[in-house]
Chains A and B, each alone.
Chain A
Amino acid sequence: MAAVDLQDVAVRYGSHQALEPYVDRVGAGEWLGVIGPNGAGKSSLLKAVAGLVPSTGEVTVGGTTLRGLHSRRRATQVAYVAQDPLIPDDMSVFDYVLLGRTPYVGYFGAPTGHDRDVACSVIDRLRLGGFATRMLGSLSGGERQRVVLARALAQEAPVLLLDEPTSALDIGHQQQALELVTELREHRRITVIAAMHDLTLAGTYADRLVMLDGGRVVAAGAAHEVLTAERLGEVFHVCVSVDVDPDDGTVIVVPRRGFPA
Chain B
Amino acid sequence: MTRLDDELHVTGAGTGAGDVPRTSTTPSPAGDPADGASEGAAGATSVLDEADRSERRRDVRWLVSGLAFLVGAVVVGASIGPAGPEWWRVPLALVDHLPLISLDSGVSEAEWNIVWQIRMPRVVLGGLVGAALSVAGAGYQGVFRNPLVDPYLLGAAAGAGLGATLVLTVGRDATVGWPIDPVQTVAFVFALCTVAVTYFVGAAFGGTRSGATLVLAGVAVVSFVTAVQTFLLQRNLDVVREVFQWILGRLSGSTWSDVRVVTPYVLVAVAVLLLHRRHLDVFRVGDEEAATLGVSVQRTRLVIVVAATLGTAAVVSVSGLIGFVGLVVPHAIRLMAGATYRRVIPLSILFGGGFLILADVPGRMLTSPAETPIGVVTAFIGAPFFVYLLRTRKVV
Contact = CB atoms under 8 A, between A and B. Distances in A.
A124 B291 contact: no
A113 B45 CA distance: 11
B23 interface: yes
Given A90-B396, A129-B22, A117 B41 contact: yes
Interface residues of B, number: 50
Contacts of A100: 293
Among A50, A71, A74, A82: residue with most chain B CB under 10 A? A71
Interface residues of A, number: 59
B interface SS class: loop
A120 B34 contact: yes
A227 interface: no
Interface string A113-133: 100111011111101111011
Interface in A32-55: 50-52
A130 B23 contact: yes
A50 B292 contact: yes
B135 to A, nearest CB: 17
Interface of B: 4, 7-10, 12-14, 17, 20, 22-25, 33-34, 37-38, 40-45, 47-48, 51-52, 145, 275, 278, 281-282, 284-286, 288-289, 291-296, 334, 338-340, 395-396
A249 B288 CA distance: 38
A88 B292 contact: no
A185 B41 CA distance: 18
Contact of A121 (B10, B44, B145, B334): B44
Interface of A: 50-52, 70-76, 78-80, 82, 85-91, 94-96, 99-100, 102-103, 105, 108, 110, 113, 116-118, 120-125, 127-130, 132-133, 135, 137-138, 140, 142-143, 155, 172, 176, 179, 182-183
Contact of B43 (A70, A124, A138): A124
Given A85-B289, A103-B294, A129-B22, A94 B51 contact: yes
Contact of A90 (B34, B52, B286, B338): B338
B51 A133 contact: yes
Contacts of B278: 105, 110
B396 A138 contact: yes
Given A71-B295, A78-B292, A99 B37 contact: no
A138 B44 CA distance: 19
Nearest to A122: B38
Contacts of A82: 286, 288-289
A113 B33 CA distance: 9
A182 B14 CA distance: 9
Contacts of A155: 293
Given A80-B292, A94-B48, A117-B37, A182 B13 contact: yes
B292 A87 contact: no
A189 to B, nearest CB: 15
B293 A102 contact: yes
Nearest to A80: B292
Given A91-B284, A130-B47, 16 more contacts: A70-B294, A75-B293, A80-B288, A80-B289, A86-B284, A90-B334, A94-B51, A99-B285, A102-B282, A121-B41, A127-B10, A129-B44, A129-B47, A130-B23, A130-B24, A176-B10
Nearest to A79: B292
List the 8 closest pairs (A to B, CB-CB), nearest first: A75-B294, A130-B23, A121-B38, A72-B294, A86-B286, A103-B294, A90-B339, A179-B13
B285 A121 contact: no
22 contacts: A51-B291, A51-B292, A52-B292, A73-B294, A76-B294, A86-B289, A87-B285, A88-B285, A89-B396, A91-B284, A94-B51, A99-B281, A103-B294, A116-B52, A117-B33, A120-B41, A123-B48, A124-B17, A124-B38, A124-B44, A127-B8, A129-B22
Contacts of B285: 85-88, 91, 96, 99
Contacts of A103: 293-294
A183 B289 contact: no
A120 B44 contact: yes
B282 A99 contact: yes
A4 B2 CA distance: 40
A117 B45 contact: yes
Contacts of B288: 52, 80, 82
B8 A142 contact: yes
A225 B52 CA distance: 52
Among B48, B291, B338: residue with most chain A CB under 10 A? B48
A155 B78 CA distance: 51
A61 B115 CA distance: 67
A227 B22 CA distance: 40
B8 A176 contact: yes
